[in-house]
Structure 1
Amino acid sequence: MNPVVKRIEELRVLMKEKNINSYVVPTADFHQSEYVGEHFKARKFITGFSGSAGTAVISENEANLWVDGRYFIQAAAQLEGSGVTMMKMGEPGVPTLEEYLEENLPENGVLGFDGRVVSMGEGSAYEAIVKEKNGSIVYEYDLIDKIWSDRPELSKKPVFELGVEYAGETVASKLERIREAMKKNHATVHILTTLDDICWTLNMRGDDIDFFPMVLSYAVITLDKVILYIDETKVSDEIKANFAKDGVELRPYNDIYEDVKSIDEKEVILIDPAKLNYSLYNNLPAGAKKVEKVNPEILFKAMKNDVEIENIKKAQIKDSVAHVRFMKWVKENYDKEVITEMSASDKLDEFRKEMGGFIRPSFEPISSYGPHAAMCHYTSSPETDVQLKGGNVFLTDTGGGYYEGSTDITRTYALGELPQNIKEGFTLVAISNLSLGAAKFLHGTTGMVLDILARKPFWDRDLNFNHGTGHGVGYLLNIHEGPTGFRWTYRAHEAHPFEDGMIITDEPGIYIEGEYGVRLENELLCRKGTLNEYGQFMYFETITFVPFDLDAIVPEIMTDAERAMLNNYHKEVFEKISPFLNDEEKEWLAHYTREI
């Protein structure tokens, strides 16, 4: 029997004991993190689906999992035999999770979830559904914990400081800016639960989530102190002393749930409803005024300062050099030795480590050959690991976490001679990437406006790719960072206009199920351009310097302008990267950055 079937049966027994009709299991920790530590992978445990996003709803007779387009292929394979039905988000005829609950939760029904892993905003939406059904919500129970006998413990790994030579701003300065934002909102207390916001504010990093150097913690910021809720055993005496200088007081990690109950009702509390979890929100004093706004730290940290920008450029050069060496190695050796998806990924990290300052990969690597590359967020495993062979493409979407910042680069390499259709798909992706990277626009423009530059080459041919075109990148924090992104559909957390100093990815792709996939990703730095009577013009500076594999380019389907963009980019790649290479590597790079 599939172990998921047994787990769902055990969960339903507990649901019946608590009179719960439907139980929601999101992909979340207590901090609304996009990626979570092993302890928090409850949705993976109860469904068997290992992707980084998705929400399960278990009811008395059904088990459903909502996933987006990145995971349709992967989820279909992993859910087979589990009794869990995939709900393809955004597809015609597929109800949203909320619509499903509205239709299927019985009159007077009870909806259950662990309130610590559901955001206040999501919880409010569930409240509205339940109210229409004259039902109720039960949020006090983590039922998955009751059946997960070997659940991993919370991380105990130590905290480390990110020096001002990397952060570019002191904790005191950041707290001053945050308190100014609080005063503008007439707030006296600001509650932070998002790990990247807390780590950015306090210039601290850790190792509590795989690949993301975050620290499990909560923070309550007042006008004169900060209360940091954290496992104190992870904090060295030196860091504690530095915290004390900035008015940071330490308390046990879980104490916040009781402490917030005693906040004076005269206080005005600044909270982000999309980030605060449902349990914590419901513990706030009912009489205290609450100002619901986006956390000010989100925009602060997205607009990198001059020190961060210079460091990030150094990290990008390091990563680009590593990628060029890797590209040469894989193209020259795939047919001379056994190279698999996983061994190739390990080799790329070896090249990264040689560059110095490398801490760890900045996210779970995507290393996929041929048909596997058609799965946008495929992760190779010992069960799926395949050998690289000629006649198809190898896609690598990986990142490096350096003290100088985080990188996120995707390249797709031709192994041997490719069929014409794959070359044309590759060329289309290259045109899309270059067209978006060349954008010039007025300040106030959002990613929804610019996304058409990437989509047009696809839409002109009645094609599309089923994911966003780009996302913000954190500095040794989350690799996906708001509040800006490239997407043709509206998402509130990515709707902020581009600002000077933001880093964003440019990553269109084409995916033909069962055959191949191509994605090409550069990072772009948003900069101010000309200021004139029409306003402040903005542009993107490309900071990733790795060739687009010319073995997969069809120049004949490119316009003169598109070929010029590719040639100019490759000229810059050679100028930036060749000084770090030996003579043999330089000669090789010259060939792969030649004019077409």
Structure 2
Amino acid sequence: MTSRFQTFDDPTSPATCAPRVAALRDALRGMGVHGFVVPRADEHQSEYVPPNAERLAWLTGFTGSAGTAVILLDKAALVVDGRYTLQAPAQTDVSIVTPVALAEMTAEAWIEANLPEGGVLGYDPWLHTRDGVRRLEEAAARAGGKAVAVERNPVDLVWTDRPPAPLAPVRPHPEALAGEGNAGKIERIRAALAKLKGDALVVSDPHNLAWTFNLRGGDVSNTPLPLGYAIIPREGRPTLFLDPAKVTNEAGDAVGAIADIAPPGALAAALDALGHTGARVRLDGATAASALARQVEAAGGSVEVGPDPISLMKAVKSAAEIDGSHAAHARDGAAFARFLAWLDGRAASGGLTEIEAVERLEAFRAETGALRDVSFPTISGSGPNGAIVHYRVTRSTDRVVQPGELFLIDSGAQYEDGTTDITRTIAVGEPTPEMRDRYTRVLRGHIGITTAVFPKGTSGAQIDAFARRPLWEAGLDFDHGTGHGVGSFLSVHEGPQRIAKTGTTPLEPGMMLSNEPGYYQAGAYGIRLENLILVERREIAGGDREMLGFATLTLAPFDLRLVEPALMTWDEIAWLDAYHARVRETLGPLVDGETRGWLERATRRVG
């Protein structure tokens, strides 16, 4: 059995780090700079980037979805957040590049402390936002040096076998699944642009481009994105900048009624033209490259940097998208239930490997006939590998699941009608009392989010603590956000909505998010429990505020062998029993008889 969508070969090796960093330093000397910043980013600040933009992984060996390397002529750092503090030192050559925890020191703080007096720090203006450039400039100035934009990325100069830019076909996304035509979306965007007093919006986020024009592509793994840009003027026809080689006839016809399509090379001239008219151009603060602002301003235009109004529109799902998500989760839940039933028997027989689990789960999803891709590389972690938050199994790290261990499986699927993301932690053999305690506390935090009721205007930051309180009570915590936004046949990680200490966007009905508290004992085990949830209105008798709450979309049992009822309240137990009854009733008719019998046992009442 093999995977259609995932590979398990080691993507990088720490052994390549030293010669590649040495080659980069030679290039920096030739350019007359003393250092260079290598973010994990492409020209759109995307989470998933095409192979030709994996500069950080190629240079350092680190393959995480976020991180920044600062390479000076005599030292180097790799700054990563809490998800990657174990992964980074395992993947890079720590004698060449020093991993630095973001919680202890930002990349800018490291630059301030290490850039030599008078040093020149280079950066690629296509890989940093305007705010990111400002922070680099300020950090370099505090060190007594300066930050300068380079005309060509020096990593590209030494990356001799760099892959070409992707050219996956671009196809229309049916209006029946989107719930709104692209003409209606354009009118809404123009109305928002008028309120912002802007003359044009540059769409730099490919997710927003795909949503606006009801298009899907395949330029990056796991997310059906066409990489490109668009300019939406307050008056006149929008223009999409896409390589003509990847625009199908169907996509051209779908877009042609409301917009023009031009090759990517025409973007510079279009920005110049905007600047020459003195236009006020709106750029997305999160994804617009500093190079875009520089070009508009050099031509005489003015730039307003702020949130792209499309992001919030996209986050609030249409009725058709919500219906599609329910259908996708029922289909996915049936496949996942088949996997869990298989896993119980397979793990008990011994010899189960992490890769085998990934391949079997994908096969169950493929048998639905609707699978388009996995929504991210499956995290399949047994024992200590489960404690690595974003662990990705390779042939060199693949473990056999051992009795007495926990097995964490975090996976998702892309269906044309919806995107899924689910995590379950499974006991293999007899769990320890500590494992049951930690699992139950994580489950209680999960229930705390699911059952939360809150007034309109509440942000994710205000409810994040609901997920952490049961862990805090035992002196425990986890170092990632509790939930991220989720797209509709788009990115599994969507903003601006999130449940986290930094989640400032107010939650609105129709937003989809994950609910995934966890606990990680380094070197021993990891626990994470994740469902996707939908923000919806709540009617409370006698209340005088508009209230909101969550509906759970994901359908899959929790492992009752790890639940300690004595630690739970009666309300928490009642929620668990009701959820399991819904899982059983919804999925029972969709699975085979053997799985149905397992499902009956797995969803038995606790209270």
What's the TM-score once normalised by structure 1's chain length? Answer: 0.96
Tell me the residue number matched to 1:270.
Answer: 282
The answer to whether structure 1 residue 148 and structure 2 residue 159 are counterparts is yes
1:98 paired residue among 108, 112, 116: 108
Tell me the residue number matched to 1:511.
Answer: 520
Offset at 1:340?
Answer: 1.3
Offset at 1:363?
Answer: 0.9
1:229 paired residue among 238, 241, 252: 241
Q: Deviations over 1:380-406 (max 9, x none)?
A: 001111122321111110100001110
Offset at 1:254?
Answer: 3.4
The answer (yes or no) to whether the contact 1:28–1:40 under 8 Å persists in 2 is yes
Tell me the residue number matched to 1:209.
Answer: 220
The answer to whether structure 1 residue 524 and structure 2 residue 537 are counterparts is no
Look up the SS of the partner of 1:285 in the other structure.
helix
Tell me the residue number matched to 2:118.
Answer: 108
Look up the SS of the partner of 1:25 in the other structure.
strand
Offset at 1:82?
Answer: 5.0
Offset at 1:81?
Answer: 4.8
The answer (yes or no) to whether the contact 1:369–1:394 under 8 Å persists in 2 is yes
The answer (yes or no) to whether the contact 2:137–2:146 under 8 Å persists in 1 is no
Look up the SS of the partner of 1:504 in the other structure.
strand
1:241 paired residue among 238, 247, 253: 253
Which deviates more, 545-554 or 577-586?
577-586
1:417-428 equivalent positions in 2, closer than 5 A = 417-428=430-441
Matched pairs, number = 588
Tell me the residue number matched to 2:504.
Answer: 495
Offset at 1:258?
Answer: 4.0
Which deviates more, 353-362 or 55-64?
353-362
Tell me the residue number matched to 1:541.
Answer: 551
Which deviates more, 169-178 or 115-124?
115-124
Distance 1:374 1:430 in 2: 17
Letter in 1 for 2:513: I
Distance 2:192 2:509 in 1: 20
Tell me the residue number matched to 1:138.
Answer: 149
Q: Deviations over 1:36-58 (max 9, x none)?
A: 11110101111111111100000
Distance 1:353 1:316 in 2: 14
The answer to whether structure 1 residue 359 and structure 2 residue 368 are counterparts is no
Offset at 1:342?
Answer: 1.2
1:94-493 equivalent positions in 2, closer than 5 A = 94-132=104-142, 133=144, 135-222=146-233, 223-246=235-258, 248-263=259-274, 264-286=276-298, 287-336=300-349, 338-488=351-501, 490=502
Distance 2:220 2:238 in 1: 23
Distance 1:486 1:528 in 2: 18
Distance 1:135 1:360 in 2: 44
1:561 paired residue among 553, 557, 571: 571
Which deviates more, 569-578 or 18-27?
569-578
Question: Please, which runs of 5 or more residues in structure 2 have no aligned partner?
Answer: 1-13
The answer (yes or no) to whether the contact 1:24–1:58 under 8 Å persists in 2 is yes
Look up the SS of the partner of 1:146 in the other structure.
helix
Look up the SS of the partner of 2:349 in the other structure.
coil
Paired-residue identity, % = 35
The answer (yes or no) to whether the contact 1:2–1:81 under 8 Å persists in 2 is no
Q: Deviations over 1:233-286 (max 9, x none)?
A: 11122321221111x212222331343123233322111222210112111134
Distance 2:175 2:335 in 1: 26
The answer (yes or no) to whether the contact 2:442–2:517 under 8 Å persists in 1 is yes
Distance 1:205 1:410 in 2: 26
2:69 paired residue among 34, 39, 56: 56
Letter in 1 for 2:68: T
Distance 1:553 1:337 in 2: 24
Letter in 1 for 2:522: E
The answer (yes or no) to whether the contact 1:402–1:476 under 8 Å persists in 2 is yes
Q: Deviations over 1:158-199 (max 9, x none)?
A: 111110111111010110100111111121211011110101
The answer (yes or no) to whether the contact 1:2–1:82 under 8 Å persists in 2 is no
Distance 2:196 2:434 in 1: 56
Which deviates more, 546-555 or 53-62?
546-555
The answer (yes or no) to whether the contact 2:386–2:526 under 8 Å persists in 1 is yes
Residues 80 and 14 of structure 1: CA distance in aligned 2, closer, same or farther (over 3 Å) = closer
What's the TM-score once normalised by structure 2's chain length? Answer: 0.94
Q: CA RMSD in A?
A: 1.6
Look up the SS of the partner of 2:546 in the other structure.
strand
Tell me the residue number matched to 2:19.
Answer: 6
Distance 1:184 1:355 in 2: 45
Distance 2:148 2:297 in 1: 19
Distance 1:85 1:105 in 2: 15
Letter in 1 for 2:516: E
The answer (yes or no) to whether the contact 2:243–2:264 under 8 Å persists in 1 is yes
